[in-house]
Structure 1
Amino acid sequence: MTDRHDVVFDSGDSFCAAWLYLPEGWRPAPVILLGHGLGCVRDMGLDAYARRFSGLGYACLVFDYRHFGASGGNPRQLLDVDRQLEDWASALDFLRARTDVDADRIILWGSSFGAGHAIVTAARDRRIAAVVAQCPFTDGLASTLAMSLRSALAVTVLSVRDVLGARLGRAPVMVATAGPYGSAALLASHDSEQGYLELVPPEAPFRNEVAARIALRILRHRPGRRAAQIEAPALFCICDADSVAPAKASLRHLRRARRGEIRRYPDGHFAIHVGDGFERAIADQIDFVTTHVPVG
């Protein structure tokens, strides 16, 4: 049995809202810190992962980034790489200040864009016990080249407008996070709109848009380059049919992790989160964490 608690922790100029799962049994428990992907909120499926892990005796912390979901931060829907990495660091500080979790056995778990953050955070923080990166965003250039030319041009125009407007103090120019193929959306592959939006439950504090300035930063963001600097054991769950974070680029980067393990799946970027894709991935993830950071 697991208790889920609503908690908040300070991060930068605001706060992050989170769910803290405290299982019965071993105390203090090793803890898994879970962060989601591009423009997502914690309601989009992370509870399912946390409950599987906590059912085995792990504590879990699942959080919303600032500017999203139930967390603070204005303007809303501002997706900023450095601020999100600061949120990961603040979450670690929050966990290490507690006495009901084992601060020396913290596992990072990230999906998609959040998996890229987990890779960078583990490369920076040598106290991390293990890392799980699911359908990881590793190479912004590769992801941009995977977009249709029409989508890439439309998103770039919006991004430039947003950057210029921000310098003039104007409200953000928004871009759709997920949309139909070829549309002006950050995720506009054939499976993006349906796959992404099906993760959103009714009544979730979610908006399908972000400040468009992130598109120019994504192009230069290549967290996979930090994989070689991770000292902890790392599991990389790669989707061979990934239309958002191309598997070829991810494999090139992640094979450099000194203690890395790679598992490959026939799924697309979104299919790994649900149904059979979820079951295959969570089974490998459970095997990995129980081997490298056992509860007992």
Structure 2
Amino acid sequence: MSSTPSFTRLDVSFTSGKDTCAAWLYLPEGVPSPPVVILGHGLGATREMRLDAFAERFAQAGIAALAFTYRHFGDSTGQPRQLLSIKRQLADWDAAIAYVKGRRDVDGTRVAVWGSSFGGGHSITVASRHPEMKAAVAQCPFTDGLASALALGPVASLKVLPLVARDYVSIARRRTPAMITLAGPPGSLSLMNAPDALPGYQALLPPDTTFRNEVAARVAPTIMAYRPGRAAKKITFPILFCISNTDTVTPPTETERYARSAPRGEIKHYDAGHFEFYLGEPFEALVSDQVEFLTRHLNPAGAA
């Protein structure tokens, strides 16, 4: 593997709406006009939470990588803070695609999208809207909000409603949003309270993280109504689904059903849990499969 190219990481940003998304651009050295993959994270997460690990491996395979943080989170701009708007996040993906297409140091005709968890759902939606893409990766993807809500339990889902109502009042009165915890212990009032949720998020945090474990509560009903898996059947290019067999957040049976509707879908199963995909042996297995998939469909010149 001595021919594996090294890479340069640039701090970059791009405009989305009236705001700016902060990002890292990984450029493989010695690969003229490389293809590029765009990476977006999960529910309330920022790019420091192990997107760099995946991006580095893609760059080492000769594929440029843009890892970004959504508006309203981390070091990206946008007010109010911690606002999770599905519509705005999808617009951030569109802005990221336009950004890489406008750069001269990557090949804007060979672009792929890569999303994990909630971002995996976004990658399905975005892929269905951009037929010019060459490939997509949906890692432990959120595919069906109703199925995820039922997995959490209807009682737990109902408990969030008073917070949602309070947040809607804050909108009307132009006050600071009412927040709900993203990941909490079992039984807690949070969007994710499976036993592995809170430790799973904590394991991804670097010492200098910009992550905050909360979002504006108004997002809860929109999450339940979001069913990106339905768009899989519209994706005409190859898309890789990496499914956790023991997923506590995105039920694997639903994900498998949607994945099989993609005309050129490829499916890989893993025994690791939803939050274990980013570290250790599960990460190595996943990233190896993803590098093979992206290399096959993006065909980076000079790749090992």
Q: Same fold (TM over 0.5)?
A: yes
Q: Is the 1:130–1:234 contact (alpha carbons within 8 Å) kept by the matching residues of 2?
A: yes
**Structure 1, 122-131 or 156-165: larger mean CA deviation:** 156-165
Match of 1:53 in 2: 58
Q: Is the 1:110–1:118 contact (alpha carbons within 8 Å) kept by the matching residues of 2?
A: yes
Please give the residue correspondences for 1:254-265 in structure 2 after superposition, counting only pairs within 5 Å: 254-265=259-270
Match of 2:131 in 1: 126
Report the AA paired with residue 277 of structure 1. P
Which residues of structure 1 form unaligned runs of 5+? none
Deviation at 1:157, TM superposition (A): 2.1
Provide, for residues 75-110 of structure 1, a one-character-per-residue CA deviation record: whole Å limited to 9, x for no partner. Answer: 000000000000000001111111100001001000
Report the AA paired with residue 34 of structure 1. L
Report the AA paired with residue 251 of structure 1. E
Q: Is the 1:148–1:182 contact (alpha carbons within 8 Å) kept by the matching residues of 2?
A: no
Match of 1:205 in 2: 210
Distance 1:277 1:166 in 2: 42
Provide, for residues 39-58 of structure 1, a one-character-per-residue CA deviation record: whole Å limited to 9, x for no partner. Answer: 00000001100000101111
Higher relative contact order (CA 8 A, sep 6+): 2
Distance 1:231 1:201 in 2: 37
Question: Which residue of the other structure, out of 265, 274, 294, is the alignment partner of 1:289?
Answer: 294
Provide, for residues 224-245 of structure 1, a one-character-per-residue CA deviation record: whole Å limited to 9, x for no partner. Answer: 0000011110000000100001
Report the AA paired with residue 139 of structure 1. D
Report the AA paired with residue 190 of structure 1. P
Which residues of structure 2 form unaligned runs of 5+? 1-5
Match of 1:102 in 2: 107
Deviation at 1:111, TM superposition (A): 0.3
Distance 1:159 1:248 in 2: 29
Question: Which residue of the other structure, out of 17, 21, 24, is the alignment partner of 2:29?
Answer: 24
Q: Is the 1:150–1:183 contact (alpha carbons within 8 Å) kept by the matching residues of 2?
A: no
Is 1:76 the counterpart of 2:81? The answer is: yes
Question: Which residue of the other structure, out of 152, 159, 177, is the alignment partner of 1:172?
Answer: 177
SS at match of 1:270: helix
| Alignment: residue pair count | 296
Provide, for residues 114-167 of structure 1, a one-character-per-residue CA deviation record: whole Å limited to 9, x for no partner. Answer: 011111111001111100110000000011111144532222221222123213
Match of 1:232 in 2: 237
Q: Is the 1:186–1:215 contact (alpha carbons within 8 Å) kept by the matching residues of 2?
A: yes
SS at match of 1:249: helix
Provide, for residues 149-188 of structure 1, a one-character-per-residue CA deviation record: whole Å limited to 9, x for no partner. Answer: 4532222221222123213322200001100011111111
Q: Is the 1:152–1:184 contact (alpha carbons within 8 Å) kept by the matching residues of 2?
A: no
- Structure 1 vs Structure 2 CA RMSD: 1.0
Is 1:188 the counterpart of 2:193? The answer is: yes
Match of 1:147 in 2: 152
Match of 2:141 in 1: 136
Q: Is the 1:2–1:54 contact (alpha carbons within 8 Å) kept by the matching residues of 2?
A: yes
Distance 2:164 2:283 in 1: 33
Distance 1:96 1:82 in 2: 21
Match of 1:11 in 2: 16
Report the AA paired with residue 14 of structure 1. D
Structure 1 length-normalised TM: 0.98
Report the AA paired with residue 35 of structure 1. G
